[in-house]
Chains A and B, each alone.
Chain A
Amino acid sequence: MAVCVAVIGKDNSPKYILCLNPNQELQFHYRVHTSLDVVEEKLKATGDRDVRELYIGQLYSTEEHKIFGYVTNTRIKFIVVVESSNTSLRDNEVRMMFRNLHSAYTDVVCNPFYIPGDPITSKNFDNTVRRIMSGN
């Protein structure tokens, strides 16, 4: 379903990034990085009722990819990249992906051995992300 999932910290540093195809990792780093400006923009926009929702919708799309974003109350950003050719993907499926991702992330943070702000190395988190990417 998704081709890349990224977790970006408060200070916009990458905490975790996983791509379906490891050869394209650099390209996805670039895509995720570019999308962060759109995230900031969406967060700044006020007066919109949707702005209070954690899911901030599609950030931008290119010929190959669609990029979706989600920002937690604690300013952690989740970015999911989906192939544009995947037209069957519905909005609530994307929301579901983010919700699962957020649950997995809270589990990581609540682990006393994880120091907040460090890159995520948890195997459990890794497995959950892989499951989300494959679409179950």
Chain B
Amino acid sequence: MSVSKGLVDDVLFEFLHAELVSYVLNSSKDGKKGDVTSLEYIGFSSGYRIIERLTKEWPRFKDELETMKFICTDFWSSIYKKQIDNLRTNHQGVYVLHENSFRFLRKISSGRQYLEAAPKFVAFTCGLIRGALANLGLDCTVTAEIQQMPACKFHIQVQKN
């Protein structure tokens, strides 16, 4: 019972996200079609709030890398039910999260045909990561790179101040 319930939850989240994307993009002002800023902002405020709950039972993070590891493992699996496949860093504030099968792109036919439709499906997640990190005290910019769906890379650049 609990297994089937989990599956239903997963689908609902995907539907909600798809609907969110289409609602936000259709209701944005004319001439600014494909403006993903507000999607990113919705992600930001969701991430900012949810991280408060997720880190509640967690010991304090030692450093930046440990925070990133938390994002890749616990944070990611509580939202996307899987962990990030690969995390790379130059140890100078740049982190690249490799996701081999990103959940919001998995249902789109793979290959290059729909590549130009992809940005709107990753904007929310970019915001989500940025919000979570912002609340943990790391100001950063997050961008996504898609070469071949459903794989996706998230670039995180931590702002040093």
Contact = CB atoms under 8 A, between A and B. Distances in A.
Interface of A: 10, 51-54, 71-75, 102-103, 105-106, 109-110, 112, 116
Contacts of A51: 60
Given A73-B136, A74-B136, A53 B59 contact: yes
Contact of B137 (A53, A75, A105): A75
Which among A10, A54, A73, A109 has the greatest number of chain B C-beta atoms within 10 A? A73
A52 B56 contact: no
Interface string B40-60: 000000001111110110111
A59 B97 CA distance: 40
Given A74-B137, A75-B137, A54 B59 contact: yes
B56 A106 contact: yes
B67 to A, nearest CB: 9
**B-side interface size class:** 10 to 19
A110 B45 CA distance: 10
What 9 pairs across the A-B complex have the smallest Cβ distances?
A: A73-B55, A52-B59, A109-B52, A52-B60, A106-B53, A74-B135, A106-B52, A110-B49, A109-B49
Contacts of A74: 51-52, 55, 135-137
B147 to A, nearest CB: 34
Contacts of B62: 52
Contact of B56 (A10, A53, A102): A102
Contacts, number: 43
A73 B58 contact: yes
A124 to B, nearest CB: 16
Contacts of B49: 109-110, 112, 116
Contacts of B136: 73-74
Nearest to A76: B52
B15 interface: no
Contacts of B61: 73
Interface string B89-130: 000000000000000000000000000000000000000000
A51 B56 CA distance: 16
Contacts of B60: 51-54, 71, 73
A116 B50 contact: no
Interface string B58-71: 11111000000000
Interface string B124-144: 000000000001110000000
A106 B135 CA distance: 13
